[in-house]
Amino acid sequence: MAEERSDTGVKSVQVALDIIEAVAASETEVGVSELASRLGLTKATVFRHLKTLVERNYLVQNSRTTRYRLGIQCHLLGQISSNRVDLLSASEEAATLLRDETGQSVVVSAVRMSGLVVLATHLGPSPLQIGERPGSELSLYGSAQGRVAVAFSRKPLLAQVKRQKKEPFTPHTITEWPDLETKFRETYERGWADAPEELLLGLNALAAPIFDDTADCIGAIAIVGSIQHVPYDPDPGLVSLLLAAAERISIKLGFNPPVSVRRHSC
């Protein structure tokens, strides 16, 4: 790999990725000189990229040997990617059934520190198509899915929300911390969450947690519809169908419902 790449733009990203791949391919920790030789780059170029990758936790430098290995961020990305693929495939049948049972759109999302990322939206039969676009991110404080994640995930999401600047999405969005704490606690106690007209006027969502084989909440399944069909005081039958779908997905992921789920109280 010749030293033709500039240290700017896309080529700089290519160098960073080459370095990560070279470190990952090595059976032992690797040094600057070895990486430079292997990639056909100068040591100065490699060192600049290594410094940034260490700062972002993609690589770790051994303080004793000064050599490098993969960092926690690489491991986390791999785990998140694996979880998302498993969650997507495990939820397909239950989410489709829930959509058909309720006549409403059903959204499956994965938990991450900044919010929930939408993996799939199963649109209901209504001419008015309601649902979140796959790949979009949902708020931890202003969405039903976010409240489920904060209440049930082992990630330190409660502290994350407390630090966040909480802007209202609509006049109904709850942003005051004491009120949010109450909502998170209520979600934990009843096992599901709602957020009527908090993300978008006229819409509501009901969300339930999805657990993996370690009893950690890794995602949420939600019914999304107009206030007319998913009202402020939702039909208990709708909630029961939602919880049953969440349980079916969790069981597919290895969760054992009879086992007591350890949840963080708010």
CATH number at residue 189: 3.30.450.40
The predicted pLDDT at position 129 comes to 60
Asked if residue 54 is part of any domain, the answer here is yes
| 198 shares its domain with 177 | yes
Asked if residue 258 is part of any domain, the answer here is no
10-14, 15-19, 79-83, 146-150: least confident range? 79-83
Cα 59 to Cα 62, 93, 164, 227, 260: the distances in Å are: 10, 39, 27, 48, 37
Asked if residue 213 is part of any domain, the answer here is yes
The predicted pLDDT at position 199 comes to 93
The predicted pLDDT at position 135 comes to 80
pLDDT reading at 225 higher than 50: yes
| 61 shares its domain with 93 | no
The predicted pLDDT at position 83 comes to 56
The predicted pLDDT at position 128 comes to 63
- Give 129's contacts (C-beta < 8 A, 6+ positions apart): 105, 123
Asked if residue 4 is part of any domain, the answer here is no
The predicted pLDDT at position 38 comes to 87
Asked if residue 50 is part of any domain, the answer here is yes
Percent of the chain with pLDDT over 90: 63
Last residue of a domain, one of 48, 70, 92: 70
The predicted pLDDT at position 264 comes to 40
| 93 shares its domain with 52 | no
Asked if residue 257 is part of any domain, the answer here is no
Domain count, the chain: 2
Q: Give yes or no for a contact between 166 and 243, defined as CB atoms under 8 angstroms apart.
A: no
Asked if residue 162 is part of any domain, the answer here is yes
Asked if residue 58 is part of any domain, the answer here is yes
Q: Which residue has the higher pLDDT, 66 or 26?
A: 66
| 136 shares its domain with 210 | yes
| 49 shares its domain with 113 | no
Split at pLDDT 50, 70, 90, the class of 16 is very high
Pairing mode of beta strands 68-70, 105-112: unpaired
What is the domain range of residue 18? 9-70
Q: Give the global pTM.
A: 0.67
CATH number, domain with residue 15 = 1.10.10.10
The predicted pLDDT at position 113 comes to 84
DSSP E strand boundaries for the chain = 59-61, 68-70, 105-112, 115-122, 137-138, 193-194, 203-211, 217-226
Q: Could you report the per-residue pLDDT of 59-85, keeping only the tens digit for each? A: 999 988 999 999 888 866 766 655 555
Cα 94 to Cα 71, 178, 192, 252: the distances in Å are: 36, 35, 17, 10
Specify which of 12-16, 71-75, 94-98 reaches the highest per-range mean pLDDT: 94-98
pLDDT reading at 56 higher than 80: yes
| 114 shares its domain with 203 | yes
The predicted pLDDT at position 3 comes to 41
| 229 shares its domain with 135 | yes
Q: Could you report the per-residue pLDDT of 106-159, keeping only the tens digit for each? A: 999 999 888 898 999 998 887 666 667 788 889 999 999 999 999 999 888 999
